[in-house]
Chain A
Amino acid sequence: MVHWFAEHEMRPISLLADKEERVPDEWLRKVNRMGITLSMSNFGGDAGKKKDDAPRKEPRERQANRLGVIAAEELAWGDPAIALSLPGPGLGGPPVMSTGTPEQKERFLGIFTKDEPRWGAYALTEPGAGSDVSGIRTSAKKVDGGYVLNGHKVYITNGGRASWVVAFATVDPSLGRAGHRAFVVEKGTPGFTCTRVAHKMGLRASETAELVFEDCFVPIDNLLGGEAHYENRAGSSGFRVAMSTFDSTRPIVAAMAVGIARAAYEYTLDFVKKEYPRGGRLQTDVLAKLGEMDAKIHAARLLTWEAAWKADLGQPNAKEAAMCKAHAGRISLEVCADCLEIMGPIGLDGHLVEKLYRDVKVFDIFEGTNQIQHLIVARRLYEPYGLRL
C-alpha cells in the first residue's frame, strides 16, 4: 500500500519538486485529506498502546517500529524530500510522545487533522553545536509564568511551516547537559521567527529552516513534561529527551537511506536491461557492480530491521540504531555513485539517479554523523571492559 502511494503519487512529481525546491501545496492538501502523514510518534517507548486495550496475560509483541522502517523505506523510495515534507509532527513527535504530559500530547498532537496540512518540527542544532549537542547556547531564562528563549537554530526540517517546534534550550550553560530543557514553541509566538530557508545539495523540495528566538516568551505549560519532569527524575534533562529520540528515529533515517539506494539500484537495473551493450568487458563489470549493490542494500536493510525489532521488543537498541545508521548512510551513497558510473554521462541528463545521489548524501550526516554513530557503537563495545570512550 505504501509502495503504491510512493510509486503513483510521489514518484511522478519527484523531479519537478526537486527543480522547484518545493512540494506543490495542492498535492500536500490532497495527501493530507487522504490521511497520509509523517508521524514518527509511534516508535519507541510506550507509544502504540491504546488506553482501552484489555489487560493481557502475556504482553503483545509490538510491531510499530518494524512497520515504521518498512514504510519509511517505501516512502523514501518514492522521494525522500517529499517524504520529509509530508504533513505531521515529524521528528517533533517522539519527544512529545516520550516526555509530554497527557495534556501536552493532546494539545500538540491533536492538531494533525485532515482539514488542513500541518507540521511539527524538532529544533536542536545550532551554528556552534552540531555533533556536540551539549554545547547548545540557546538560553531559557525562567520568568514569571514561563521562560524567555534567546538563540538561533539551523537545519530545521519544516521549521518555517511548522505549527510548533520542539526547541532545546539551556537554563544554565555551566550545567552542561543537565541544563537542557525541551520547549514546544508555537508558530506566531512573539520573538520566534523563521529567518531563512536554505538551498541545499539535495532534498531540495524539503524545507530546511533557520529559526531565531529573540526574547521569546514560552509559557510554563509548554515546557515538555513540565517542571515536575526535571524535579522528579534525578539526572533527567532535555539532553536525555533528545538522545532517547535518536534510538527510534535513527532506524527510520537508515530505512530511508535504504529506500533511496534501492530506488537508484532498480532504476539502474531497468536502464541496463533496456539500454546496455551486451557482452564484452563492460557487461562483466556491470554484473559484478549490480551484485554488490544488491548485497549492500540487503545488508543495510537487515541491520535496520534488527534495530527496529529490538525496539519493538522493548530492548535497548542504541548500538543497533547506530550501526544501521552508520552502515546505511555509507552504502547508500556508494550505491548511488555506482549507479551513476554504470549510467555514464547519460545519467546526468534528467535521470532520477543524479537527484538521488544528491539527496542521499545528507543521510550520512543528519540524525548523527557517520562518525558519531561509530563512537556510539564503539562505546557500547568497550563498556563491558570498563572503558568510557
Chain B
Amino acid sequence: MLSFLPSDEERAFVEVAQQFARERLRESAREAEKARTPGDDLVSAAHELGLLSLEIPESLAGAELPLISQVQVLEALAHGDLGIVQGLPGLCDSASVMRVLPQPERLELADGAAQRVPWLHLSPNEVAVIVERSGFRLEGVAFPRRSTLGADQLLVSFLAPGGEAIVAWLDRTAAEWSEDAGDVRLGLLAAHIGRIGFEGTIVRPEDVLLRGDEAERVIREAQARVAVLEAAKCVGAMRASLEYTIEYTSQRKAFGQEIPKFQGVSFTVADMAIETEAARNLVWQAAHAVDQQGAGALQAAARALAYALRSARFVTNQGVQMLGGAGYLQEYPVEKWMRDVQAQAVLYGREMDWYERAGARALGLEEKEGVLV
C-alpha cells in the first residue's frame, strides 16, 4: 500500500547529508559564490562521504543508488546550498546517461567521481550538425550549461540531419572545443556555468556510442533521471527558504504584533509550505516511477521538474518578500536562494517546455518540432 516512509538506510544517509549541508554547505555558501567554485576542501569532504557518486554506475566505481534514495539525499544537500550542490563534480548530468548506457565501463574517465563531465543534449538549431564522411561536424556555440568550464570530456547528444539520434563521447585529446565563462551573474555562480563553442568539432565514428532507436531510448531515460534529480534539488532549496522565512518572521514585529499574525504573511507562508510539500511528493512519485521503469515514468519525471521549478520560483520569491527590505540584502541568504533557483529554472527550463512535453505525451505524440518528447 502507498507509503511515504523512507527506509532506515535512507534515513541514515540523509542524516549524514543533512549534517554536511548544515555544517559545511550553508557556512560556505557565500564564499563559494564569490570564488565561483565550491572549493577543493569541500569537494574532498563530499567525495569522502560518498556524496559525489550517488548516480554513477557501480561499474564505474559509483554507488548506483536508486533515485528514491538519491532525491532524499539531494534535497538535504540543496537545503544547505543549491549553488554549491550544482558546482560539485561527480560526472554531473552525464552520470544519468551512464546509468542507462549499455557498458558504461568502456568510457575512459579521467578522474571518476571527482571530475565534471557535462552532458550537452543539443536542441535543434542550437548548434549546426553537418554530416561528413568522417562523421559529424559541429558548428556553433551551445547554450550555457553547468559544469562546463574546465571539462576535459563531454557527453553530447543530438538529432542528426534526417532525424537520427546520436550519443557521442568527446575527449579533449581527440576533439577540440572552446569554453567561455561569459558574464553570468544571476545565480548558481559556483556551478562552473559556461558555453561550449564548437568550431568545426569533429565527432568521429569511434566517438559515437549509440545511434538511432537505442540512442533515443538512452536520451529519454537519462533526461527523465536528470529531471527527477534536479527537481529534488529544487525541493531542498524551497525547504531552506520556507524554514528561514518562518523563523525570521516569527520574531519580526510590526504594528504592535508579530507579523505572522497578519494573514497576508501567514497565508503566504502557508502557501509556501503547501507548494514545497506538493513538489516533494511529485518528486518522490517520479523517482519511484523511474526506478520501477513503469509506464508513465517519463511523464512523471517531466511533471515533477516542471512543477518543482515553478514552485521553487514561487517559494524563494516569497522568501525574499516576507523578509521585506532585509530579504533583498546579501546579509540574509534568501536573496541568493531566489537567484539560484531562477538560474536553475533557466538552465533546466523552460517550465513551459516540460509542460508541453508532458501534454504531448498525454496526447500520444512522440516528438514535437524535432524534440524527443
Contacts and interface: CB of A to CB of B under 8 A. Distances in A.
Given A61-B1, A290-B363, A378 B355 contact: no
A374 B271 contact: yes
**Interface hub of A298, A305, A326, A385 (most chain B Cβ within 10 A):** A298
Q: Taking chain A's interface residues, is the majority helix, strand, or loop, or is none over half, making it mixed?
A: helix
Interface stretch (A106-114, A127-135, A139-147, A281-289): A281-289
B47 to A, nearest CB: 34
Given A66-B1, A302-B285, A327 B360 contact: no
Contacts of A63: 1
Contacts of A298: 282, 285, 300, 303
A291 B359 contact: yes
A298 B267 CA distance: 23
A153 B261 CA distance: 31
A375 B278 contact: no
B363 A323 contact: no
Given A288-B356, A290-B362, A374 B267 contact: yes
A327 B274 contact: yes
A294 interface: yes
Interface string A268-289: 0100110000000000101111
A386 B258 CA distance: 11
B248 to A, nearest CB: 10
A382 B246 contact: yes
Nearest to B353: A288
Contact of B2 (A66, A289, A377, A385): A66
A352 interface: no
Among A272, A286, A294, A373, the most chain B Cβ lie within 10 Å of the Cβ of A294
Given A63-B1, A387-B260, A295 B358 contact: yes
Contacts, number: 131
Interface in A282-319: 284, 286-292, 294-296, 298-300, 302-303, 305-306, 309
Interface residues on A, range: 35 or more
B356 A326 contact: no
Given A272-B363, A378-B260, A378-B269, A287 B274 contact: no
A290 B357 CA distance: 10
Interface in B1-42: 1-4
A288 B373 CA distance: 13
Contact of A299 (B247, B260, B307): B307
A326 B355 contact: no
B250 A382 contact: yes
Contacts of B281: 299, 302-303, 305-306
A269 B363 contact: yes
Interface in A346-374: 371, 373-374
B279 interface: yes
Interface string B259-283: 0110100110111011001110110
A238 to B, nearest CB: 27
Given A272-B363, A302-B282, A382-B250, A377 B273 contact: yes
Nearest to B355: A291
Contacts of A287: 355-357, 359-360, 363, 368
A194 to B, nearest CB: 36
Most buried by B among A295, A374, A382, A385: A295
Contacts of B1: 61, 63, 66
Contacts of B362: 269, 290-291, 294
B337 interface: no
A296 B271 CA distance: 14
B303 A326 contact: no
Nearest to B368: A287
A269 B354 CA distance: 18
5 contacts: A298-B300, A302-B281, A323-B274, A382-B260, A389-B266
Given A66-B1, A66-B2, A302-B281, 10 more contacts: A61-B1, A287-B368, A291-B356, A291-B362, A295-B307, A299-B281, A323-B273, A327-B274, A385-B246, A389-B260
